[in-house]
Amino acid sequence: MSEYGKLLFKIRVHPTLWFVIGVAILTAHFVEVLMLLLIVFIHEMGHAVCAQRFKWRIKSIQLLPFGGAVETEEYGNKSLKEDLAVVLAGPLQHVWLIGAAFLLYFFSFISLELYQPFLYMNLMLLAFNLLPIWPLDGGRLLFIGISLYCTFLEAQKHTLHFSAAFAVVAFLTWLILDPLNLNIWLIVFFISLSLVMEWRQRYYAFIRFLLQRHYGHTNDLAKLKPILVDSQEPIYKVLELFQRGCKHPVIIMKNGKESGSLDETEILHAYFSEKMTNGKIGDLLYSY
C-alpha cells in the first residue's frame, strides 16, 4: 500500500460527529449527513496528503462535524512555504468541490435539491474554517503570521488570546441569533475545550519546538537573527527568545560589553543533554 493509502488507517471519527450522524438518521436527514461526511473527509485529506507529500509525521486525522484536525508531530520548525501549503490545502478542496457540483447540476446529473445543500455546506465549512480561531485553519494562519514577528512563545500567547476574544464575540452573536441550534453549542464546546487545552499545553509544545531544533529536525532556517543577553540571564530565559524560521547566534554581554557569543546548538545541547536547566548563559562561555 502506498504512503498515501496508509493515511486512511489514521482516520478517527470524533464523538461529536457520531452524535450528529445519529441525530441525522433519527430525523431522516441521511443524505445531508452523507454530504457532510464527504466534504469533511475531502477537506481533511487535503491537509493530510499535502503534509505527507512534505514527509511530515502524521499521528491521526480527526473528523468533526464542522471540519477536522490533522494531528502531526511537527512543532513550528517547518518552512513557511510548507506550513502555508498544508494549512491552505484543506480550504482549497472546497473550491473544486463547488466547481464540480456546479458542473454536475448544470449538466443535469444532480437535482437542485442536492446541489443547494451541497453548495451551502461547502460555503459554510469554508467560511467557518477560515475564522481566526485556533485550532481552525484561520487560527493556524494567524499563528504563522504572528510567528514571523514574535518569539515562538509570544506567537502562541497572542494567537490564543486573539482566538479566545474573537470566539467569544462570534459565539455570542451566533447564540443570540439562533440559541436553540445544537450544532452551534457543539462548536462552542469543542472550540472552548481546544483553546483551554492548547493554553495548558503551550509549554509542552514549546519544549517540542526546542527539541526538534536540538535534534536537527528543522528545514533550512530562513534568516540569521542575533540575540543579545546579559551573562546572568538564565538559560531557559534565553531559549524563550527563540523564533521560528530564525537561526540565533547568542551574543553575551557583561558590564555593557560583549564577552563572547554562542551558537544556539551549544545552548540547546547544554539545556537538554547536559541538563543545565537552572544555569546562567554566561556559564556556558567557560564550558565550550
Instruction: Outline where the chain has alpha helix (H).
Output: 15-26, 30-53, 80-106, 112-129, 137-147, 152-177, 182-200, 202-214, 235-239, 264-268
Which cell numbers in the block locate residue 198?
A: 492548547
Which cell numbers in the block locate residue 131?
A: 475564522
DSSP 8-state assignment for residue 272: I
Cβ atoms within 10 A of the Cβ of 19, count? 13
Rounded Cα distance between 254 and 10, Å, is 52
Which cell numbers in the block locate residue 177?
A: 441569533
Q: Is the CB of residue 259 less than 8 Å from the CB of residue 281?
A: no
**Is 44 annotated as catalytic?**
yes
Cβ atoms within 10 A of the Cβ of 87, count? 23
Q: Is 107 helix (H, G, I), strand (E, B) or coil?
A: coil
Name residues whose C-beta falls within 8 Å of residue 250's C-beta, 6 or more positions apart in sequence.
Answer: 226, 227, 229, 238, 261, 262, 263, 264, 267, 281
Q: Is the CB of residue 260 less than 8 Å from the CB of residue 252?
A: yes
Residue among 44, 74, 233, 264 flagged as catalytic: 44
Rounded Cα distance between 94 and 39, Å, is 8
Q: Cα 258 from chain centroid?
A: 39
Which cell numbers in the block locate residue 252?
A: 553575551
Q: Cα 71 from chain centroid?
A: 8
Task: Give the active site residues.
Answer: 44
